[in-house]
Amino acid sequence: MKKHICYSLVILFTVMSMPLKAAGLNETPVAISPQEIQVIDINKADTETLALLKGIGKKRAKAIIAYRELNGVFNSLDDLRNVKGIGQRTLQLNKGRIKL
């Protein structure tokens, strides 16, 4: 008798969990990091935000802001190449992630 009750409970819990799997509630959500989807305005972004770009750390982010303060806003993405330490490779890494 106890065996039948145990089997019945296992079956009951299995059946009860099926709608959760069908609705996708049992799955772990896929985390998308902000770095993957964020588009950054290089004419307005602060140091921390600029540092989110690939190949740009805090030092280069500060250099971008210093260049922006001395020379005004960036008119094209190629203007970023005038900042020390930023070359074509960095621009390629961040293609689609930078806006003016």
Residue 38 confidence (pLDDT) above 70: yes
Predicted confidence band of residue 79 (pLDDT cuts 50, 70, 90): very high
The CA-to-CA distance between both ends of the chain, in Å, stands at 74
25 part of a folded domain: no
The answer to whether the predicted template modeling score (pTM) of the entire model surpasses 0.85 is: no
Q: For residue range 5-28, what is the model confidence (pLDDT) as tens digits? A: 766 767 766 767 666 555 555 555
What CATH number corresponds to the domain at position 40?
Answer: 1.10.150.280
3-state secondary structure the chain: CHHHHHHHHHHHHHHHHHHHHHHCCCCCCCCCCHHHHCCEECCCCCHHHHCCCCCCCHHHHHHHHHHHHHHCCCCCHHHHHHCCCCCHHHHHHCCCCEEC
Structure-block tokens of residue 15 = 């059946």
Domain count across the chain:
1
Q: Which domain holds residue 47?
A: 34-99
- For the chain, the farthest-separated pair of C-alpha atoms sits apart, in whole angstroms, at 85
